[in-house]
A and B are shown apart, each in its own frame.
Chain A
Amino acid sequence: MTTSVRWQDAVLGAAGTGGLFLLWELASRSGLVSTNVFPAPTTAIIGTLQTVPLADILGHVWTSLGRIFWGFALGAVLGTVIGIASGWYRALGVLTRPLIELLRPIPPLAWIPLAIIWFGLGEPSKVFVIFLGAFFPIVTSAYRGMIGIDPALLRVGQTMGLRGPMLLIRVAVPAAMPDLATGIRIGWGLSFGVLVAAELIAADRGMGFMIMNARQLGDVDVIVFGIILIGAINLITDYAIGAVIRRRIGRWHAI
């Protein structure tokens, strides 16, 4: 029963997607929309693969993924540690909270000039901007998760003789996991959202560079291809992270 319903959903979804692509393809091929302005998906993909060597494309993807990985990893580790520590040790929270609340509303992209001034035009400035995208949602959700722990759970831990760091590790941190997990997903999405702009900083590689460069060359095919590529990678990685989270905590926590 449920499997057949799921099948039906998948078929409908595929039909909807296929229909849209068909319309787009038709609009483009019939000359309703100029191919120079908005190429059909097949035109864009074939056109790009003909003009740009596959190795170059993979190189751009690899570079971008590396930047996102480092920025995100840094943001996730620092955000988790600072968020959890601020929620656990009150005195630290009083120190870090106002600073975080003050800086959080500033969009990550607005840091680009300072990133350049502080770290130069190389990799660190790009990684820094991506880091900011991940850090703020993760630190905030880790802190919220700690503050929102059911006090009964902490009390149980105490009656079983846990205190101090042991209580933190064995009760508080697992209890804050669901909140942290949502923060991590949002952080990943923001890191991706920041990528293109970060790669505007004097980059000569990366997916963001690829499409910005294509604009200067007037190569619409590559731009459309790049947009789809970035979106697809974002979607796939987000889904993968979601699947890992579901496997880790999905059974005990309804997501």
Chain B
Amino acid sequence: MADPARSDVAPSKIEICGVSKRYATDDPDTPLVLDNINLAIGDNEFVTLVGRSGCGKTTLLNIIGGLVESTHGDVKVNGRTVSGPGQGKGMVFQQHALFPWLTALQNVGFGCRNKGVHKAERDQIAHQLIELVGLHGFEDKYPAELSGGMQQRVAIARALATDPEILLMDEPFGALDELTRLEMQDELLRVWSAHKKTVVFVTHSISEALVLSDRVILLAARPGRIRREFPIPFPRPRKRTDPQMIALYDDIWKSLA
């Protein structure tokens, strides 16, 4: 039970079958943004997508999230083809994308309100999640009054509030300073252990991928393809200075070059 289910054992939570993407404005001669991506992600698995800018990792995440339509192929969640955003897929973006006109508490409760959850229950859920991400006392602050790390904590709490099965994170810590970033990684693992989810996490930081995920998917650019996969078998919490981790880091770095 300690290890999350692996894709070859349990049925996959997310199945990406032959997904390709070309933007409508693209010249037909330019390489595809994504070219025939096949990937299965297990239940409660934490997967990171790593690659250089322009390798299509964000596009892939948006396709899984149902925000962008694929040109070919499709994505199945629980065996059903994804037809649009929402429906149990929470998302966290690089620029926190909090609603500036809502307080932290109201931002977290936003998704529940859409589902018609009553205010009392909504506030209770939101309070709990605010507590969970360590923002007790900041419930009534507006995003503009919070620091970058706090904003991203609210964004994570907001994505968790509707209790989605899948959490899609698009470089959520990319805009934070190094110290806050390390802190947020530990924070995310703590939250994840409390609320097990299937997580797809996009990043361009190899060390971030190593600390967080069960599996690193390395994408190549032009056209966007899966270059290699790296399972990370080490138990959490992981030490960033562990020699095995450093060896794996080198391995991934060489594959990137």
Classify A-B as touching or not with yes or no (CB < 8 A).
yes
A residues with a Cβ closer than 8 A to B are 150, 152-153, 155-156, 158-163, 166, 170-171, 174-175, 177, 249, 251-254
A-B contact count (CB 8 A): 69
Residue-by-residue, is B85-103 near A (CB-CB < 8 Å gives 1, otherwise 0)? 1110111010101011110
B97 and A150 within 8 A (CB): yes
A160 and B101 within 8 A (CB): no
The one of B91, B143, B144 in contact with A159, judged by C-beta atoms closer than 8 angstroms, is B91
B101 and A159 within 8 A (CB): no
- Given A156-B91, A166-B114, A254-B144: A171 in contact with B97 (beta carbons within 8 A): no
Distance (whole angstroms) from the CB of A58 to the closest CB of chain B: 39
Where chain A touches its partner, the secondary structure class is helix
Distance (whole angstroms) from the CB of B34 to the closest CB of chain A: 19
B86 and A161 within 8 A (CB): yes
Distance (whole angstroms) from the CB of A90 to the closest CB of chain B: 16
B residues 139-168 near A (Cβ < 8 Å) are 142-145, 158-159, 162, 168
A158, A159, A254 — most chain B CB neighbours (10 Å): A159
Distance (whole angstroms) from the CB of A102 to the closest CB of chain B: 30
* Complexed CA–CA distance, A160 and B95 (Å): 17
* Complexed CA–CA distance, A94 and B32 (Å): 32
Q: Of all chain B residues, which has the CB nearest A174?
A: B101
CB-defined contacts of A252 to chain B, threshold 8 Å: 100-102, 142-144
Q: List 22 A-B contacts (CB under 8 A).
A: A152-B95, A152-B97, A153-B99, A155-B67, A156-B93, A159-B90, A160-B111, A161-B87, A161-B111, A161-B114, A161-B115, A162-B86, A162-B114, A170-B114, A174-B99, A175-B99, A175-B101, A177-B101, A251-B145, A252-B144, A253-B101, A254-B144
Distance (whole angstroms) from the CB of B8 to the closest CB of chain A: 30
CB-defined contacts of B89 to chain A, threshold 8 Å: 159
CB-defined contacts of B142 to chain A, threshold 8 Å: 251-252
B201 near A: Cβ within 8 Å? Answer: no
A158, A166, A175, A177 — most chain B CB neighbours (10 Å): A158
Distance (whole angstroms) from the CB of B100 to the closest CB of chain A: 5
A159 and B67 within 8 A (CB): yes
* Complexed CA–CA distance, A141 and B100 (Å): 19
* Complexed CA–CA distance, A152 and B168 (Å): 14
CB-defined contacts of B173 to chain A, threshold 8 Å: none
Chain B: residues with Cβ within 8 Å of the partner, total of: 28
* Complexed CA–CA distance, A177 and B99 (Å): 12
A161, A175, A253 — most chain B CB neighbours (10 Å): A161
CB-defined contacts of A171 to chain B, threshold 8 Å: 99
Distance (whole angstroms) from the CB of B63 to the closest CB of chain A: 13
Distance (whole angstroms) from the CB of B31 to the closest CB of chain A: 25
The one of A158, A161, A177, A249 in contact with B67, judged by C-beta atoms closer than 8 angstroms, is A158
B110 near A: Cβ within 8 Å? Answer: yes
B65 near A: Cβ within 8 Å? Answer: yes
Q: Of all chain A residues, which has the CB nearest B144?
A: A252
A159 and B95 within 8 A (CB): no
CB-defined contacts of A163 to chain B, threshold 8 Å: 84
A174, A251, A254 — most chain B CB neighbours (10 Å): A251
A155 and B99 within 8 A (CB): no
Query: 6 closest A-B pairs (Cβ-Cβ)?
Result: A161-B86, A152-B97, A160-B111, A158-B85, A252-B142, A159-B91
* Complexed CA–CA distance, A174 and B65 (Å): 24
CB-defined contacts of A174 to chain B, threshold 8 Å: 99, 101-102
Distance (whole angstroms) from the CB of A68 to the closest CB of chain B: 29
Distance (whole angstroms) from the CB of B50 to the closest CB of chain A: 22
Q: Of all chain A residues, which has the CB nearest B93?
A: A152
* Complexed CA–CA distance, A45 and B100 (Å): 48
Distance (whole angstroms) from the CB of B2 to the closest CB of chain A: 31
The one of A152, A160, A251, A253 in contact with B110, judged by C-beta atoms closer than 8 angstroms, is A160
CB-defined contacts of B99 to chain A, threshold 8 Å: 153, 156, 171, 174-175
B residues 51-96 near A (Cβ < 8 Å) are 65, 67, 84-87, 89-91, 93, 95
* Complexed CA–CA distance, A158 and B89 (Å): 10
A160, A161, A174, A249 — most chain B CB neighbours (10 Å): A160
